[in-house]
């Protein structure tokens, strides 16, 4: 009898996949879509019938958190660790590259026998060894950098979302159709191949929509929203420009919903719906001030509207439709949750910050312990203690909203303390009334900061791009990943921190978006220097026969004349001669 009870207890603690086929896994994470951008979350204007239906068929976590901007969320999602442990601390200027030694969900699931694919936005490094194909993904269809129509895209793409130039398994391709349609269509075709091969799949679908700019959106949907009264969701922003921007954002979101409908039809037709764990959440708050339910603020803010998003998870074989749980959870919880769902082994010798959420999603009765979540992101080469951060426990929230855009903390901004369970709008600041609770949460934050900052000796130094590797013979270095010191914005001059994999003969091609007139141009590639003249009507200059030594080096480009954002090179292309 005792042995029988021990066996039963053991079975109850095993992951599902120990006695059932491992589930397919799909994560859909739109870019810059907010909590209030679904009909099911109370938006009276937007049309999202497929996502609304999916939400009603799912288990829901009502207190789910992400970072205030995109790259930090993506690093935390992929690793189960706070992004401050991963070297990814911002969205550009070389601060958005993830340490290649980090273990991703894709690597973990691949080791467990899964096929792995990404379709959309990566934003954790454009070059070897930080690309998704080096981070566990078998199938890769992405744009570069933080989005289309950004400086990391090929110049010839000309800011297109429609018929965009994308990258398939490392090769530049010309796509056909609106970008979100392309991602979902490619994902579905890949899923069909996985099913034919009898392999479970992990499909990561992070479209770059509805991230701006907003010039290229589905025209039929735009016409609908431009003719619709958007006043109920504008949060007081009644300007014609604001209305037009929101109409364009909603057109992109409804297009995402249409693609979710296509995906749902495929899962049903292929009899894979019941054993597919499909999750939907966003990477941060909305990209404009608009409806966010009971919350306040938007993307980049650390008030609820910037970091509190919807979370739906459907697994018909395991989760009860309509189950709701209010325990706090976050992006860092995805890796341990998917490990438990799939039966994959957690990464060895790695501190995982997240928690397995399956008990919450299954509705198991238990005494779920209170926990603390910390969200912090701001511009700069390293996080500053207490700068633009939030601490959330189940009942309380500490906020120091010093501004995402500043690399220096404004010491004059006061701390805010909310009994968040009773004050989702963060309207009643209790910091002066409850100094002991304020001090307690400050101490919690400081301990967290010291912990994540000590992950490695040079914790906030960026990883180096490796050039001249057999895995990437041609490296396009963009201003997305250069270091510019104190320059504002993207910067007008900077340097790339690289490691030359092999000594030998290289070429360097400097490319501008448009001709900038006749200039004297010099490339500095470590100890090697070459100079030449850029012609009046030329937009690129090539240097050949450059002898580079193996090892760490700084690469930079200098040119005569005016130094401005408009004259900044778009790419430095480094090619190793075979």
Judgement on whether residues 434 and 562 belong to the same structural domain of the protein = no
Of 307, 334, 362, the domain-final residue: 362
Calculate mean pLDDT across residues 5-11. 35
Q: What is the pLDDT of residues 185-241, one digit of tens each?
A: 999 999 999 999 999 999 999 999 999 999 999 999 999 999 999 999 999 888 999
Strands 373-376 and 308-309: unpaired
Domain end, chosen from 426, 453, 480, is at 453
**Burial grade of 538 (CB within 10 A; 0-12, 13-18, 19 or more):** middle
Question: What pLDDT score does 13 carry?
Answer: 42
Structure tokens at 246: 């929101």
Could you tell me if residue 367 is inside a domain?
no
pLDDT in tens, 493-510: 899 999 999 999 999 999
Beta strands at 495-500 and 465-467: parallel, antiparallel or unpaired = parallel
CA–CA separation, 186 vs 183, rounded Å? 5
Write out the two tokens for 363. 């509705």
CB 569 within 8 A of CB 510: yes
Of 361, 356, 318, which Cα lies nearest the Cα of 338? 356
Determine, yes or no, domain membership for 8: no
Domain CATH number, residue 144: 3.40.720.10
At 564, the pLDDT band (50, 70, 90 cuts) reads confident
Place of tokens 């980049």: 300
pLDDT above 90 for 105: yes
DSSP assignment of 197-246 equals HT--EEEEE---TTPSP-SS--HHHHHHHHTS--GGGSTT---HHHHHHH
Average pLDDT in the 42-71 region?
Answer: 98
Residue 5 banded pLDDT, cuts 50, 70, 90: very low
Domain-embedded: residue 460: no
* Per-residue pLDDT at 489: 74
Residue 9 maps to a domain: no
Quick one: 551 and 410 in the same domain?
no
Res 367: pLDDT: 82
Indicate whether 492 and 536 sit together in one domain: yes
Q: What is the tally of structural domains in the chain?
A: 3
Cα–Cα distance measured from residue 146 to residue 284, given in angstroms and rounded to the nearest whole number: 14
Identify whether residues 429 and 496 lie together within a single domain: no
- Using one digit for the tens of pLDDT, what is the confidence trace for 20-33? 799 999 999 999 99
Tell whether 431 and 514 lie within a shared domain: no
My answer on whether 487 and 437 are in the same domain is no
pLDDT value at residue 18: 47
Rounded CA separation 51/73 (Å)? 22
10 pLDDT band, cuts 50/70/90, is very low
- Its domain, for residue 153, covers 28-362
pLDDT (0 to 100) of residue 456: 96
Q: Give pLDDT tens digits for 146-160.
A: 999 999 999 999 999
Q: Residue 3 above 60 pLDDT?
A: no
pLDDT band for position 16 (cuts 50, 70, 90):
very low
| 294 in the same domain as 393 | no
Between 8 and 511, the more confident residue is 511
DSSP β-bridge partners for residue 483: 495
- Domain at 449, CATH number: 3.30.1120.10
Residue 86 in any domain: the answer is: yes
What lies within 8 Å, CB to CB, of 234 at 6+ separation is 242, 243, 246, 289, 290, 291
Given this model, what pLDDT does residue 365 score?
A: 76
Instruction: Look at residue 11 and tell me if it is in a domain.
Output: no
- Predicted confidence at residue 7, as pLDDT, reads 35
Same domain, 212 and 117: yes
Task: Say if 22 falls within a structural domain.
Answer: no
Q: pLDDT tens digits, residue range 362-399? A: 998 778 899 999 999 999 999 999 999 999 999 999 99
For the chain, give the mean pLDDT. Answer: 95
Which of the listed residues 362, 397, 412 is the one where a domain comes to its end?
362
For residues 324 and 449, state if they share a domain.
no
Question: Which CATH number belongs to the domain containing residue 481 in this structure?
Answer: 2.60.120.260
For residue 458, tell me if it sits in a domain: no
- Quick one: 158 and 45 in the same domain? yes
Please indicate, yes or no, whether residues 83 and 116 belong to a single structural domain of this protein: yes
Residue 309 near residue 281, CB atoms below 8 Å: yes
Considering the domain architecture, whether residues 110 and 166 belong to the same structural domain is answered as yes
CA distance 445 to 443: 5
Q: Which residues of 395-416 are buried (b: 16+ CB within 10 A; e: fewer)?
A: ebbbbbbbbbeeeebeeebebb
Indicate whether 144 pLDDT > 70: yes
For residue 2, pLDDT over 60 is answered with no
* Closest alpha carbon to 85 in 525, 455, 472, 434: 455
pTM of the model: 0.95
């Amino acid at each position: 009898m005792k042995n029988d009870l021990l066996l039963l207890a053991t079975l109850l603690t095993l992951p599902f996949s120990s006695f059932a086929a491992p589930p397919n896994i799909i994560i859909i994470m739109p870019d810059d879509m907010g909590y209030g951008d679904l009909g099911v979350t109370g938006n009276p204007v937007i049309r999202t019938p497929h996502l609304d239906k999916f939400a009603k068929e799912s288990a829901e976590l009502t207190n789910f958190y992400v970072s205030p901007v995109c790259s930090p969320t993506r690093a935390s999602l992929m690793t189960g660790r706070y992004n401050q442990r991963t070297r990814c601390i911002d969205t550009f200027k070389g601060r958005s590259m993830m340490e290649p030694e980090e273990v991703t969900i894709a690597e973990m699931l691949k080791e467990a026998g899964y096929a792995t694919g990404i379709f959309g936005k990566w934003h954790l490094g454009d070059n070897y060894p930080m690309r998704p194909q080096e981070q566990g993904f078998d199938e890769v269809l992405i744009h570069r950098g933080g989005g289309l129509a950004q400086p990391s895209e090929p110049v010839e793409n000309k800011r297109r979302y429609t018929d965009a130039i994308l990258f398939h398994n490392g090769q530049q391709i010309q796509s056909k159709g609106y970008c979100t349609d392309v991602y979902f269509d490619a994902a579905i075709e890949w899923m069909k191949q996985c099913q034919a091969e009898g392999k479970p799949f992990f499909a990561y679908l992070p479209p770059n929509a509805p991230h701006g700019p907003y010039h290229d959106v589905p025209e039929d949907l735009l016409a609908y929203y431009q003719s619709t009264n958007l006043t109920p969701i504008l949060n007081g922003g009644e300007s014609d420009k604001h209305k037009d921007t929101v109409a364009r954002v909603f057109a992109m979101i409804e297009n995402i919903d249409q693609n979710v409908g296509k995906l749902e039809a495929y899962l049903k037709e292929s009899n894979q719906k019941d054993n597919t764990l499909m999750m939907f959440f966003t990477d941060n708050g909305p990209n404009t001030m608009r409806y966010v339910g009971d919350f306040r603020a938007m993307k980049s803010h650390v008030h609820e509207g910037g970091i509190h998003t919807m979370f739906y998870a459907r697994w018909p074989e395991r989760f009860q439709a309509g189950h709701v749980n209010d325990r706090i959870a976050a992006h860092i919880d995805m890796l341990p949750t998917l490990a438990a769902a799939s039966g994959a082994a957690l990464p060895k010798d790695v501190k995982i910050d997240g928690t397995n959420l399956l008990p919450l999603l299954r509705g198991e009765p238990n005494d779920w312990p209170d926990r603390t979540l910390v969200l912090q992101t701001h511009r700069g080469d390293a996080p500053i203690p207490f700068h633009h951060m939030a601490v959330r426990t189940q009942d309380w929230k500490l906020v120091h909203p010093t501004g995402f855009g500043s690399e220096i903390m404004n010491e004059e901004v006061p701390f805010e303390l909310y009994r968040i369970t009773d004050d989702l709008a963060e309207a009643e600041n209790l910091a002066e009334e409850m100094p002991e609770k304020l001090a307690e949460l400050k101490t919690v934050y400081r301990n967290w900061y010291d912990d994540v900052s000590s992950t490695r000796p040079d914790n906030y130094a960026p990883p180096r791009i490796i050039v001249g590797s057999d895995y990437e013979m041609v490296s396009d270095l963009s201003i997305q990943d250069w270091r510019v010191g104190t320059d504002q914005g993207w910067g007008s001059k900077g340097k790339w921190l690289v490691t030359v994999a092999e000594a030998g003969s290289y070429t360097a091609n400097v490319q501008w978006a448009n001709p900038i007139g006749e200039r004297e141009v010099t490339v500095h590639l470590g100890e090697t220097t070459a100079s030449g003249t850029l012609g009046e009507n030329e937009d690129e200059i090539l240097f050949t026969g450059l002898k580079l030594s193996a090892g760490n080096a700084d690469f930079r480009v200098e040119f005569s004349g005016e130094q401005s954002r408009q004259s900044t090179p778009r790419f430095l292309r480094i090619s190793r001669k075979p």
